[in-house]
Chain A
Amino acid sequence: MGWSYPNSQRDRMSGRNWQRSKNDLDIEAELEAGRRYGLNQRRKFMWGLILPAFLTLIFFEILPVASAFWTSIHRARLFDKSRIFVGLDNYLHLLKDPHFFGTVLPNTFLFTFIGLTLETALGVVIALLLNRKFKGETLVRVLLLFPLMVAPSISGILFSWLFNTQFGIVDVFLEAIGFYRVPWLAGRWTAMSVIVISDVWLWTPWFAILLLAALQVQPLEPVEAARIDGANASQVFFNITLPYLSPVLTICMLIRTFDLFRQFDQTWVITTGGPARSTEFFSIYAYKEFFEYTRYDLGNAASLLGAVVMMIFGIIMYRTFARITMSEREKA
């Protein structure tokens, strides 16, 4: 077995894959390379490249996850060193807990779903709006980029001030136009919507910027051909632009799902899970179980459940995504 670089420039230009593009010259070069850097040396080089990253991940991510699993099958408290084996009791406790099952999990899934939908839809709309030349283009783009640089916790502060019940500008405005004041952070659904709005504010620009970048290099011939054939704007969008965007869009949505699902910072700042623990997501729940109620085992079990859900989702999505990109490539 010789060695080869993947995706070499030549392969990409010829549009063929490596196996088929081999000719005598390539084989000779490969043999030469194989002689100089034998398989062993290549392996060594690859290990050398990833070793620091690998060790960091093992000691500071995999080891903690293993430790979390180990504590989650024991009875463990924050200030008590003893560990008593209890099997899956902690998980059963969680699944029987009406608070976890009836509030925390629905909150997490609902938040992920609504946040993702809003951010994707708004991101697509904004990217389409901005996809033309106009005065002040750069200014708008700077404005869009800015939320991405803002700390999630600061965004939490921003929105808890805007939606402050007594002095927040939103309520002042509502009163001024003849509405009544809404005690935003005092109810479950209003508080949830404030959290959603703050997340939409923070992350929609990410979608918009990446989609805009893709739109700006979109090949225009199909669009123009469709127009000449009499297609209207929505037909062009749904039949040409959206399929063209779908690879970028899918990967953006995938990454956002991971991050929405584990969202912590904004919720912690805006509601700390309140009122009456009704806006807790699973990471807030786990954190509180650990540090406020000192139930380290339950906290770990909850956070592991979340991790497992995301891992399974991630693997399923990876396969779907591989299929999408593959079919796109076949079309091209």
Chain B
Amino acid sequence: MAERGQLPLRGWKKGLWGFAIFLVCFFFAFPVFWLILTSLRPETEVFYVHAGTSFTLKNFVGAFNSHQFVRSMVNSAILATLATTCSLLVTVQSGYMLGRFRGTFRNTWFGFIYIVRTIPYITWGMPLYFITQWMRIYDTYLGLLFPHMAVHIAFFSLVMKGFFENISLASEEAARIDGCSNWGVFWKIAIPQVLPGIGAISLICWLWTWNELLFAMLLTSGRTTLLTLTIVQFVQEIGIQWNLMSAAAVIALIPAIIITIFGQKYVMRGLRV
């Protein structure tokens, strides 16, 4: 039968379709599979990953013992959690403003966010190197938190706007007639209705902060070093030890793996444009 408007496939066409699906899966799964396989191989056999048969978990121990690894992991986790909390508080409000009002003021704010979205990170990241020093927050959580918040505001305000546009106005109007204040309506009526969406965004927000490299390169030096930076420095310093490298990379992938497997349906909601 025809499902979703597609004609049923028969014979060689069905075979071709299956093969195409297989190719897609292979292309997207293989690199990660290969990385995990490499991380399980002993040091001497890492250069013929495809041929050997011995496996070990020593690489993970080695990665954890390497310089600053655990510390940067903790730093990354703290920063990602902080940034997610603060960004969401700020972004939800700006999204509500975009989704609920109309007029010049709202359009100006929309245009502002859109323009800010087009500015490449490097343009404002480099001056921040001096500006955060001037503000005395260079190489601290705060100095990383605010730039990340700026990124998230530009990214997620528009997604939030979509969430608020899709919920019904009736209950908000009813609360207003009952004498609820603007802020009361916002916090008690509007927010609870978009909580699933906020949850989805918070996962993505957390992961993107965890994944970010450029700000870590520009705005840290030793004290609050972050995981992506530590691993990248790994590549450039001990680039030959691929077993340790891949173990470190696999460890950095753990949150991503957990979120994809357990939060799959959830995350999809936050990805829309």
**Which A residues have a C-beta under 8 Å from some C-beta of B?**
4-9, 33, 36-37, 41-43, 45-46, 48-50, 52-54, 56-57, 59-65, 67-68, 71, 126, 129-134, 138, 140-155, 157-162, 164, 166-167, 169, 172, 201, 205-206, 209-210, 213, 215-216, 218, 220, 223-224, 227, 233, 248, 251-252, 255, 258, 261-262, 264-265, 268-269, 272, 282-283, 286-287, 290, 296, 299-300, 303-304, 306-307, 310-311, 313-315, 318
Contacts and interface: CB of A to CB of B under 8 A. Distances in A.
Interface in B116-144: 116-131
Contacts of B128: 60, 64
Contacts of A216: 4
Given A9-B169, A65-B119, A142-B260, A53 B126 contact: no
Given A61-B147, A233-B7, 15 more contacts: A53-B153, A56-B90, A56-B153, A64-B125, A131-B5, A146-B29, A146-B260, A157-B231, A166-B47, A167-B47, A169-B49, A213-B268, A262-B121, A262-B122, A283-B214
A33 B149 CA distance: 34
A63 B21 CA distance: 48
A63 B131 contact: yes
A158 B32 contact: yes
A206 B120 CA distance: 20
A151 B213 contact: yes
B246 interface: yes
20 contacts: A6-B100, A46-B105, A52-B93, A57-B153, A60-B150, A65-B119, A126-B24, A146-B28, A146-B29, A153-B211, A169-B49, A213-B268, A220-B5, A251-B273, A268-B217, A282-B120, A283-B121, A300-B126, A303-B120, A314-B118
A50 B207 contact: no
A287 B129 CA distance: 12
A303 B25 contact: no
A9 B173 CA distance: 12
Nearest to A254: B273
B120 A261 contact: yes
A310 B127 contact: no
B222 to A, nearest CB: 15
Contacts of A251: 273
B90 A304 contact: no
B207 A210 contact: no
B21 A140 contact: yes
B21 A152 contact: no
Contact of A167 (B5, B46, B232, B255): B46
A269 B252 CA distance: 15
Given A67-B127, A68-B123, A161 B24 contact: no
A245 to B, nearest CB: 13
Residue picked from A54, A153, A167, most chain B C-beta under 10 Å: A153
A100 B183 CA distance: 51
Contacts of B210: 151
B116 A57 contact: yes
A7 B167 CA distance: 11
Interface of B: 3-7, 17, 20-21, 24-25, 27-29, 31-32, 34-35, 38, 46-50, 89-91, 93-94, 96-97, 100-102, 105-106, 109, 112-131, 146-147, 149-150, 153-154, 157, 165, 168-170, 176, 182-183, 186, 207, 210-214, 217, 228, 231-232, 235-236, 242, 245-246, 249, 252-253, 255-257, 259-261, 264, 267-268, 271-273
Nearest to B129: A290
Contacts of A149: 207, 255-257, 259-260, 267
B31 A162 contact: yes
Contacts of A160: 235
Contact of B264 (A132, A145, A215): A145
Contact of B235 (A48, A150, A255, A269): A269
Contact of B126 (A133, A255, A282, A299): A299
B35 A161 contact: yes
A205 B29 CA distance: 12
Contact of B24 (A4, A50, A129): A129
Given A41-B182, A148-B271, A303-B126, A133 B3 contact: yes
Contacts of A248: 273
Nearest to A266: B213
B93 A143 contact: no
Given A68-B124, A169-B34, A151 B252 contact: yes
A33 B125 CA distance: 44
Nearest to B2: A224
Nearest to A248: B273
B123 A304 contact: yes
Contacts of B260: 142, 145-146, 149
Contacts of A155: 31
Contacts of A311: 115, 118-119
A45 B183 contact: yes
Contacts of B101: 5-6, 46
Contact of A303 (B123, B170, B228, B249): B123
A318 B114 contact: yes
A258 B213 CA distance: 17
B228 A153 contact: yes
